[in-house]
Structure 1
Amino acid sequence: MNSIGIIANPASGKDIRRLVSHATVIDNNEKINIVERIILGAQQNGVKKVYMMPDPYNMGYRVEDKLKTSGELKCEIEVFDFYKEDTVEDTYKAVQMMNEKNVGCIVTLGGDGTNRAVAKDIKEIPLISISTGTNNVYPDMIEGTIAGIAAAVVASQQFDKAAYSNRDKIIEIETAGQLKDIALIDAVISRDIFVGSRAIWKVEDIEKIFVARSHPASIGFSAVVGGKTIITEADNFGAYVSIDKNAPKIKIPMAAGIVLPIGTSEPVILTFSEVYTFTTYCRGTIALDGEREIEFHQNQTFTFKLSRNGPWHVDVKKAIEVGQQNGFFKV
């Protein structure tokens, strides 16, 4: 049975950066509208079942009720029944269950942080990511209907996923010989000593920035590196810089509507075969894809390295092109 999973994060786009910048707010009602269009696009192209993560706003049940009432629902929607933590643990649990259900594609509604959480457990399932977060580099602005159609092409499993998706790079952070966590886009060493509200935005507290990709047209910490060098998703390397208030400054888009002059060292390229070792000299935190996740104290050692152990990230246009070229949409 052709099936897809949908993870709509009700908390995406609601962190403290909304208060200190001019970012757009995509509320949960709009997320419901997007999910409706994903399902309608998918079911009309062969998807028979949709699995959804439960959430405090009951988005899955609201979508099901609305589409049943309108008579438009033709596929089956199953909202997973598990105890909700109302934290990222719900995302981890939903992805694990989608793996067990062997869904053909997972569609996320969220930002870099949401997709990072999904990437930690997604294994071989192709991922379509729709941007509803704050500082988004990883997910794309995609119309829900189009995302649903692409998800149907992917979930059909008629085509080699290498034809429409690429294996992403990730930054792997290890300590004491064990993998501690990952980042899809950037990992930032900060002198902030508490995880707190998680979102990180104060440049003056930053020690180093590691990136898997960088571009001056991004927003956030990857743009800091992007101000000096462009690293694409296809490049088999990343880079890191140190914040240096005495270095020549470059104007960087740090958040929506906020452009700051920031000085850094010259980027140092980090290839897949190289490891950067950092021994802490004070307390602080490591932020992953814009959110503080790891607290550390003095004299801890962490290693940072790049790999292609990330998810299969679907290029939505390519997926639909593959379908069109192979007669997938013929009636």
Structure 2
Amino acid sequence: MAASRRKRVKLAICVNPLAGRDVRRVAARASTVTHEAKMDIVARIAAGADAIGIDEILVVREPFRIAEQALAWMSLQATVTMLEIKLTHTMADTEAAMRAFLDQGVDHVVALGGDGTQRVVTYTAPDIRLVPLSTGTNNVFPLNVEPTIAGMVAALGARGELRAPHLAKRAKIAKLNIGARVDDIGLIDVVRLENDFVGNYRPFKPANLREMVLTRAEPDAIGMSPIGGLVEPVSADEDAALYVNLGPGRTRRVPLAPGHLRDVEIAEARRLPLATTVEFESRGLIAIDGDRLHKVAADESVTVRVVREGAWVYDVGAVMRYATKHLFN
């Protein structure tokens, strides 16, 4: 009887070329992440993964050919597979890339981008094993780790070496429903605001904020997360969320964007058990993870519920300690 064929070990690198390059570099002090910097990150991920030993690295050809150029002249043992998608030059390209990876049987991804990019990755592939790397504006969810190590960790996972349960944890997500029309998620925050418009990329004005649900309320973050975090911190590991009502009460000076601090009035900050449904007022618009996305009609119900149903995110430090003790002989 012929021996069964070994399953090919695959790893995808998902690059959002638009991450870290919008108008918030002008309106605030966010850093610009150049295409050249992203190429270097992709190359280091590939080098780390190749050193561990995988069969195939998959990337998508995007407008600036960041991954393609990064990998073109590398001497890798792994095969590089370039996938084609129909480009729209919007966040839909990240969704299309993830669907292309899933169609190829990929279950491990290193994703480059901020909270907005990682949200699309998680929305499209909620069961993926993920190492999210920071290259965006709002960077609460992605990790600030050396890309070489990120590649090593993802490759160890793709090889099936990381079965210990403490090495990866499912991320919390905030499930948003607006009537029967919108079914969306946030990784960090879902915010209702008024006197604003969909697609606005300028920093949020505190006077426009009305209420929010946070999966993580971290005082050392930027964006919406520290609004709650500077009153009632909630970590990524806690099985809890935070509801914040904005209005007269406690005042905190909050970094709403890099280098952009404003006073925010907080009327209420209330911890919520997971799976608690919060109903927002039916007015204004909804922003998710820093992006203003959905206008709300007066007759539409708006509900938010935080659950632990997001992607499986590796604890990079824990993985490397585990690998040193059990895998690197």
* TM bracket (short chain): over 0.9
Give the alignment's TM-score, normalised by structure 1.
0.92
The alignment's TM-score, normalised by the length of structure 2, stands at 0.93
Matched ranges for 1:31-110 at <5 A: 31-67=38-74, 72-110=75-113
Matches of 1:298 and 1:176, distance apart in 2 = 11
CA RMSD of aligned residues (A): 1.7
Instruction: Summarize the alignment of residues 9-28 of structure 1 with structure 2, pairs less than 5 Å apart.
Output: 9-28=16-35
Shift of 1:185: 0.3
Any stretches of 5+ residues in structure 2 without a counterpart? 1-7
User: Is 2:302 the counterpart of 1:302?
Assistant: yes
State the 1:143 CA deviation.
Answer: 1.1
State the one-letter code of the partner of 2:251. K
Tell me which residue corresponds to 2:9: 2
Task: Give the corresponding residue for 1:286.
Answer: 286
For the 8 Å contact 1:193–1:295, the answer to whether it is kept is no
- Which 4+ residue blocks in structure 1 deviate beyond 6 angstroms? none
Shift in alpha-carbon separation, 1:161–1:155, aligned structure 2, 3 A: farther
**CA distance in 1: counterparts of 2:182 and 2:198, whole angstroms:** 19
Check 1:9–1:318 CA distance in 2 against 1; reply closer, same or farther (3 A cut).
same
Establish whether residue 258 from structure 1 lines up as the match of residue 260 from structure 2. yes
Would the aligned equivalents of 1:214 and 1:223 in 2 still touch at CA under 8 Å? yes
Of stretches 177-186 and 294-303 in structure 1, the one that deviates more from structure 2 is 177-186
Task: State yes or no: 1:223 paired with 2:230.
Answer: no
Equivalent position amino acid for 1:223 in 2: P
Q: Provide the C-alpha distance between the structure 2 equivalents of 1:161 and 1:60, rounded to a whole number of angstroms.
A: 31
**Identity value in percent:** 28
The verdict on how the C-alpha distance between 1:217 and 1:228 changes in structure 2, with shifts beyond 3 A counting, is same
Q: How far apart are the structure 1 equivalents of 2:239 and 2:181? A: 23
Deviations 1:48-82 (A, max 9, x none): 21111221101122123232xxxx22211112112
Shift of residue 33 of structure 1?
Answer: 0.4
Asked whether the equivalents of residues 154 and 319 of structure 1 are also in contact (C-alpha less than 8 Å), the reply is: no
Change (3 A) 1:116 1:55: same
1:201 aligns with 2:201: no
Aligned-pair CA distance for 1:257:
1.4
**Superposition deviation, residue 272 in structure 1:** 2.1
TM superposition shift of 1:324? 1.8
* SS of structure 2 residue aligned to 1:188: strand
* Whole-angstrom CA distance in 2 between matches of 1:279 and 1:243: 13
Distance in 2, matches of 1:274 and 1:104, equals: 30
Asked whether the equivalents of residues 163 and 322 of structure 1 are also in contact (C-alpha less than 8 Å), the reply is no
Q: How many angstroms apart in 2 are the aligned matches of 1:144 and 1:219?
A: 22
Task: Give 1:91 deviation, angstroms.
Answer: 1.0
| Aligned-partner residue type, residue 105 of structure 1 | H
